[in-house]
Homo-oligomer: A and B are copies of this chain.
Amino acid sequence: MKSTSDPARRIKLGDIAQRLGISTAAVSMALRGGSGVSQATKQRVEAVAQELGYVYDRGAARLRTGQSNTVGVVIGTLSNSFFGELVCGVDEIIGEARKISFLLNTREDAERQKELLVRMREQSVDGLILCPAPGTRSDLLETMHDWGIPVIQMLRSVSDTKGDFVSADYQTGIETLCAHLIRLGHKRIAFLGGNLDHSATRQRIKGFKAALDRAQLPSDLIVKTASDSSGGRDGAAKLLSSENPPTAIACFNDRVALGAMAAVRAAGLVPGRDIAVTGFDNINAGAEAYPALTTVETHARDIGREAGRLLLRRIEGPTMSNERIIVPTRLIIRESCGATLASRDIEGTGET
């Protein structure tokens, strides 16, 4: 219609005010708060705003009010669809609150993370949801507090006690999983993956050891590899070629497990029959794998949502006491652990 019409100067409050012969203050009140102006004026203002094609300048407003209505979401990777789900959950809640989110990728590098945080500060974000990169200094929370930026730690925490935190119950999750493997008769269980040192890794290993120790089984078969499929392949290959290979491999996450299953195949064995392989997170690809992956559901999207909600609460009430939200996990028994194959009479599609 009017493709290249005007010189496209940005319409501002003043333009509306001028048109109506009132002050910009009145216009501002009419468009925002509501109180302070008559209904009649409010309507006239809205009409003219519409007509002129007014666009709110959040930047200008934020300069005055200090509220940017943006938040930062800082994570280490997006290649894993688990994090995709997580981010979706965060975004859902943040979006409902009419805020928008910066997505920042640390690539699991603490140095890079530091830079990104500085940029977030320059942007005056209202708050941050952070999945701290390994090697994050433990005084990060104090620093952020000094900066006046609320932070929610997600999945990983820098301190065991301080700060807001939302995560899955990694330890119980893997304990339950290992208990299941033990119940199936496995006596030699390995843990595979988790080469990055952060709380979520430590929690999983802790759960692993606890379960095995309780059953008086050796809990020292831990192979640290990259937490992706290539890590799974390499690590499983190494385990299989060792002199006393495990009969079950509990993997750090589903991606590792899928890689491990591929390595098992490559060695001429069948996962779920010759050797049990389990994952963690319950990404889609696990349900579709063959054999379908036994894993632990961590409700990624819910965790993201909880983190989003907690951040909003924290932004509202900076003095509110800390919250640590641990979302329960759920064991999902499918085929890769050998459970259903072992008891072949039962036709199992998983989802216990």
Contact = CB atoms under 8 A, between A and B. Distances in A.
A5 B118 CA distance: 20
Contact of A102 (B102, B232, B258): B102
Interface stretch (A77-85, A152-160, A197-205): A77-85
A278 to B, nearest CB: 15
Contacts of A3: 142, 145-146
Interface stretch (A28-36, A59-67, A306-314): A59-67
B262 A284 contact: no
A122 B56 CA distance: 5
A124 B55 CA distance: 10
A79 B8 contact: no
Interface in A224-251: 228-229, 232
Interface stretch (A13-21, A163-171, A286-294, A321-329): A286-294
Interface in A1-59: 2-5, 8, 55-59
B290 A229 contact: no
A104 interface: yes
A103 B123 contact: no
A119 interface: yes
A87 B55 CA distance: 28
A286 to B, nearest CB: 9
A100 B70 CA distance: 12
Contacts of A81: 78-81, 84
B123 A59 contact: yes
A147 B58 CA distance: 16
A80 B84 contact: yes
Interface in A241-269: 255, 258-259, 261-262, 265
A56 B120 CA distance: 11
A102 B105 contact: no
Contact of A288 (B78, B84, B104, B261): B261
A135 interface: no
Contacts of A114: none
A108 to B, nearest CB: 13
Contact of A285 (B87, B119, B258): B258
Given A102-B100, A288-B258, A68 B59 contact: yes
A187 interface: no
Q: Which 10 A-B pairs have the closest CB atoms?
A: A285-B285, A78-B84, A103-B103, A258-B288, A81-B81, A58-B122, A262-B288, A56-B122, A290-B290, A84-B84
9 contacts: A3-B145, A78-B85, A79-B284, A91-B103, A91-B105, A103-B103, A229-B285, A229-B287, A285-B288
Given A3-B145, A258-B284, A262-B288, 16 more contacts: A3-B142, A8-B146, A57-B63, A57-B122, A59-B63, A70-B123, A78-B78, A79-B284, A87-B103, A95-B105, A100-B123, A229-B288, A258-B289, A261-B290, A289-B289, A289-B290
